Structure 1
Amino acid sequence: MEGYRFKSTLFDIEPGEDEQTNPRMYGRQLAAWLKVQLEGRGYVVEPVIDEDWGRCLVCLRAPFMLWVGCGSVADYDTAKPGDPPPAKEDVIWHCFPEAEVSLWKRLFRRIDTTVAVAKLDADLRAILAGESRITLMDV
């Protein structure tokens, strides 16, 4: 789960949005924005899925699942229970491409996801680098 870490003032934290994820895990607006950006590059992205770790954008289901995970980097080391969400300029955002091949498919044939993940990764990098209100961080 390497992906990209970045800061941006483009995304607000919506009240109560971490009720669909783990506490202090934000990124609803990031996921909606990324969905539009990926669709603009030809991906057919399913509706955003809330996960405990953030949001999932499924771009392909067959012959394997290709998706982007995104959300905030939790500030559990510095935040105390009851603290308000961080200011948007202080949030570190994260997104990463991923591919999954079902166990059933892996048993009967080798499915290479390398090319699709590399393309999705390159598209993610171009999307993020192309937005002036996003500052990529060195990891």
Structure 2
Amino acid sequence: MQRFEFESAKFLPYLPEDCQGNPGAYGFELSVWLSQSLMRQGVPTSYPLGEDWGWFIEYIEGDAEFMIGCGSQAEEGEGYKGKAIAWHIFVKQQLSLKQRFKGAARPDIGSKLEQAILAALRSEGIEPHSEAAA
């Protein structure tokens, strides 16, 4: 799983804190922007779906399904001060038990998604730190 981390004020929430999945768990605006940016590159995703840690979009190609998670690393209320906060995006293939046994991982598709995400971020002048996550 690849993880991109960066700071920006571009994706701050517009709805109040009590509309977020959890206090300080922002990411809807980032996930909408990312879905639109990926679509412009010919990479169609799902609409954003919420989790208690943030938001994610899904990408499916053949039998391969990927989760692209978008979230913040912020304290409650921090997203409403108009200042940059820490964000993260991760890419993770969702494998069924059968796919795991068959060795059906598709790192080539994951790499394609990671490159598209990096291109989208850079188009906004964002240079993320990236790392392989467990």
CA separation in 2, counterparts of 1:61 and 1:138? Answer: 24
The structure with more strand, counted as a fraction of residues: 2
* Larger-gyration structure (1/2): 1
CA offset digits 1:63-110 (Å, max 9, x no partner): 1311210011133xxx6xxx5645242311111111111113333x22
Equivalences for residues 32-51 of structure 1 within 5 A = 32-51=32-51
Q: What root-mean-square deviation, in Å, do the aligned CA atoms of Structure 1 and Structure 2 show?
A: 2.4
User: Does 2:83 align with 1:89?
Assistant: yes
CA separation in 1, counterparts of 2:68 and 2:130? Answer: 20
Indicate conservation of the 8 Å contact 2:21/2:51, yes or no: yes
Q: Percent identity?
A: 28
TM-score for both structures, normalised by structure 2: 0.82
TM-score for both structures, normalised by structure 1: 0.79
CA separation in 2, counterparts of 1:111 and 1:88? Answer: 44
Gaps of 5+ in 2: none
Give 2:104's aligned residue.
111
CA separation in 2, counterparts of 1:4 and 1:138? Answer: 4
